């Protein structure tokens, strides 16, 4: 016979409940943070094009011939891929910035190893301690992963939750009333059910619609959950499909469009809370500077980092540019890293969540925050 707790998990697979739901209206004033992990190694030179670098076309004539003229101009001789329309809009509104030639901190070209290192935030990956979990613990906040299972970024000592649309048939109101009656003597189960129903009400039909598993709809759900009175202080989203060894022009046009729609949906879901939010968008490493023989690129080193949101002091392109001449490349093939993602994220945490240097050292040991004002 199925136990009561197992049954609750089955009928409430898409429900999430917080371990401190009493923050309520006070939570609205707390700064929000969203971490977006791009799995597969995004090609930063196709996202933030260094059009002023005369060596760019020497390496990528085939990849850029249909993109370069349509890209949105940024400062310092860079341009944004034309499919990133929301990114461009936010840049103009000074709510998005890009950091070029930045490393993830992973000294490897293995996707899995690099992703583990990025999520852990340590030089050597710890699969049971994620940088975002340590940051939320220092902030004493609430966190949510939009995922089937808890990613490494949110694993650790501090409790976190996951939410993902389920495939269960919609349950009747009568069933929920019966469950409330059944759980009347069990405070933990009753609170879980009530909080789960509140989550379901916030998302409406989005909780069970299979179409909602698209990235843009997951991002919209994420925003709606975060803007609620008892919503989390931070969330994590994931988007894979960035390993573009072949047909990169077509595939990245599709990927950038999906990412762009996701950022727009997140902003929509957050509503007024968008002005209080910072979004971090990063990948595990970059790709080779020179295109390969199949219209793609291979595993590289430096990539780009995006920071977006109403709380972000945007409209800028940061990062020291190393150049694309052969002698300027890392190991003769990759974009040379000139900073570390963790330096930028640490600066954001210090400014956005007001974490001190001692706290930051527990999140990213021996990493010094950038001395640049990233938050309004």
Q: Is the distance from CB of 341 to CB of 285 less than 8 angstroms?
A: no
Q: Tens digits of per-residue pLDDT, 104-161?
A: 999 899 999 999 999 999 999 999 999 999 999 999 999 999 999 999 999 999 999 9
Q: What are the backbone dihedrals phi and psi of residue 173, each rounded to the nearest 5 degrees, phi first?
A: -60, -35
Any domain includes 71: yes
pLDDT in the model for residue 68: 82
Same domain, 215 and 204: no
Same domain, 188 and 159: no
Q: What are the backbone dihedrals phi and psi of residue 277, each rounded to the nearest 5 degrees, phi first?
A: -120, 145
Domain's final residue, options 208, 228, 259: 208
Residue-range definition of the domain harbouring residue 145 = 32-165+211-363
Q: Is the distance from CB of 236 to CB of 153 less than 8 angstroms?
A: yes
All residues at 6 or more sequence positions from 183 whose CB lies less than 8 Å from its CB, including other chains: 4, 8, 189, 190, 193
Tell me, letter by letter, the H, E, C secondary structure of 71-85: CEECHHHCEECCCCH
Same domain, 202 and 333: no
Same domain, 255 and 150: yes
Any domain includes 350: yes
Same domain, 111 and 61: yes
Residue 290's domain is classified under what CATH number?
A: 3.40.720.10
Same domain, 268 and 284: yes
Same domain, 45 and 185: no
Same domain, 134 and 188: no
User: What is the pLDDT confidence band of residue 272, given thresholds at 50, 70 and 90?
Assistant: very high
Same domain, 56 and 184: no
All residues at 6 or more sequence positions from 46 whose CB lies less than 8 Å from its CB, including other chains: 63, 64, 67, 81, 248, 252
112-121, 181-190, 237-246, range with the lowest pLDDT: 181-190
Any domain includes 187: yes
Q: Quick count: other Cβ atoms within 10 Å of Cβ 322? A: 18
pLDDT in the model for residue 185: 64
Q: How far is CA 121 from the centre of its chain?
A: 14
Q: How many domains are there within the chain?
A: 2
State mean pLDDT over 370-374. Answer: 98
All residues at 6 or more sequence positions from 117 whose CB lies less than 8 Å from its CB, including other chains: 104, 105, 106, 108, 123, 124, 125, 284
């Amino acid at each position: 016979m199925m136990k009561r707790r197992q049954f609750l998990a089955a009928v409430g697979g898409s429900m999430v409940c917080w371990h401190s739901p009493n923050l309520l209206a006070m939570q609205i004033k707390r700064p929000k943070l969203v971490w977006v992990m791009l799995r597969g190694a995004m090609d930063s030179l196709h996202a933030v094009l260094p059009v002023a670098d005369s060596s760019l076309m020497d390496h990528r004539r085939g990849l850029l011939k249909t993109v370069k003229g349509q890209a949105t101009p940024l400062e310092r001789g860079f341009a944004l891929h034309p499919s990133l329309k929301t990114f461009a809009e936010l840049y103009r509104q000074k709510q998005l910035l890009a950091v070029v030639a930045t490393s993830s901190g992973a000294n490897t070209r293995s996707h899995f190893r690099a992703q583990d290192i990025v999520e852990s935030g340590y030089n050597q990956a710890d699969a049971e301690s994620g940088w975002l979990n340590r940051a939320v613990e220092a902030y004493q906040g609430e966190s949510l992963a939009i995922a089937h299972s808890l990613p490494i970024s949110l694993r650790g000592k501090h409790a976190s939750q996951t939410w993902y649309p389920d495939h269960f048939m919609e349950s009747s109101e009568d069933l929920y009333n019966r469950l409330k009656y059944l759980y009347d003597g069990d405070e933990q189960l009753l609170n879980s059910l009530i909080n789960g129903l509140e989550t379901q009400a916030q998302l409406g039909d989005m909780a069970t619609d299979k179409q909602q598993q698209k990235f843009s709809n997951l991002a919209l759900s994420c925003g709606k959950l975060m803007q609620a009175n008892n919503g989390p202080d931070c969330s994590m989203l994931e988007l894979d499909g960035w390993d573009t060894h072949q047909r990169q022009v077509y595939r990245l046009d599709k990927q950038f469009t999906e990412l762009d729609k996701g950022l727009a949906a997140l902003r929509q879901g957050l509503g007024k809370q968008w002005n209080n939010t910072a979004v971090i968008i990063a990948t595990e490493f970059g790709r080779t500077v020179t295109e390969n023989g199949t219209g793609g690129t291979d595993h590289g080193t430096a990539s780009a980092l995006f920071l977006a949101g109403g709380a972000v002091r945007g409209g800028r392109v940061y990062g020291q540019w190393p150049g694309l001449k052969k002698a300027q490349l890392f190991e003769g093939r990759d974009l040379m890293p000139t900073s570390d993602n963790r330096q930028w994220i640490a600066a954001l945490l210090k400014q956005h969540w007001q974490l001190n240097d001692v706290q930051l050292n527990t999140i990213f040991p021996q990493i010094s925050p950038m001395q640049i004002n990233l938050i309004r």
